[in-house]
A and B are shown apart, each in its own frame.
Chain A
Amino acid sequence: GAGVSQSPSNKVTEKGKDVELRCDPISGHTALYWYRQSLGQGLEFLIYFQGNSAPDKSGLPSDRFSAERTGGSVSTLTIQRTQQEDSAVYLCASSSSGQASSYNSPLHFGNGTRLTVT
């Protein structure tokens, strides 16, 4: 079956523009994560969706960042008024239950969106 799909794979934008990143998780996976990966840094947690529960937005770095998950499936991460420090790879992951501490529910990652803000 299909894995986690992210689009676009690359995005170059000018400082101050808004961007929208898309994630299509594995069908049936209830949990969806967004992470940011900068060069030489660990994965930075951004936001977590689980079913119909309120998302955990505690990792969003500023109010310029927002995310939605429609119908419990596709998710979009929106960055408004982009800044150069937003340049990074944005990774989406899904899992069958969201129990990240359980080996029964490992994270399946997409190939990421490489965002470059000029």
Chain B
Amino acid sequence: QKEVEQNSGPLSVPEGAIASLNCTYSDRGSQSFFWYRQYSGKSPELIMFIYSNGDKEDGRFTAQLNKASQYVSLLIRDSQPSDSATYLCAVNFYGSNYQLIWGAGTKLIIKP
């Protein structure tokens, strides 16, 4: 059973602090990892992707991948109230170039 696990939250972070979101996955063969943001009542949108071990930075967002430990995380620096949303982790299904396995998402609340 291929699985992606996330803490459902809510994770409450003060404005300006660093929000840290984590995701673990079971398929050791997975190669591509994505973070989607979903505002309440809206559709998911891609915000970060990572393929290689280590860190990848894009503005206030940093994705971290550790394939040996099978986890991927998302850091949001200088958190803003507009970052309040549910963050979905998605991992490609080894052997399929079109299927992604999705976590249930972590709800993030940034408190002003």
Contacts A91-B43, A112-B43 hold; do A45 and B99 have CB atoms under 8 A apart?
Answer: yes
A111→B49 CA distance, assembly (Å): 22
A99 in the interface (beta carbon within 8 A): yes
A56→B90 CA distance, assembly (Å): 19
- The interface residues of chain B lying within 8 Å CB-to-CB of A107 are 44, 46, 100
A41 CB → nearest B CB, Å: 5
Binds A, one of B10-18, B76-84, B101-109: B101-109
- The interface residues of chain A lying within 8 Å CB-to-CB of B41 are 111
A32→B41 CA distance, assembly (Å): 21
Q: Is the interface of B mostly helix, strand, loop or mixed?
A: loop
- The interface residues of chain A lying within 8 Å CB-to-CB of B51 are 103
- The interface residues of chain A lying within 8 Å CB-to-CB of B88 are 42-43
Does the CB pair A42–B104 fall under 8 Å? Answer: yes
Question: B47: nearest residue on chain A (CB-CB)?
Answer: A106
Instruction: Give chain A interface residues in 29-70, CB to chain B under 8 Å.
Output: 31, 35, 40-45, 48, 50, 56
Instruction: Give chain A interface residues in 72-115, CB to chain B under 8 Å.
Output: 91, 98-103, 106-107, 109-112
Interface size class of A (residues with CB under 8 A): 20 to 34
Q: Please, how many residues of chain B have a CB less than 8 angstroms from a CB on the other chain?
A: 26
Does the CB pair B42–A111 fall under 8 Å? Answer: yes
B99 CB → nearest A CB, Å: 6
Does the CB pair A100–B43 fall under 8 Å? Answer: no
B64 CB → nearest A CB, Å: 17
Does the CB pair B4–A99 fall under 8 Å? Answer: no
A9 CB → nearest B CB, Å: 10
- The interface residues of chain B lying within 8 Å CB-to-CB of A43 are 44, 88, 90, 102
A48→B96 CA distance, assembly (Å): 12
Does the CB pair A48–B104 fall under 8 Å? Answer: no
Chain A to chain B: the 4 pairs with minimum beta-carbon distance, closest first: A109-B43, A42-B102, A101-B92, A43-B102
On B, residues with C-beta under 8 Å from A are: 4, 8, 31-32, 34, 41-46, 49, 51, 88, 90, 92, 96-105
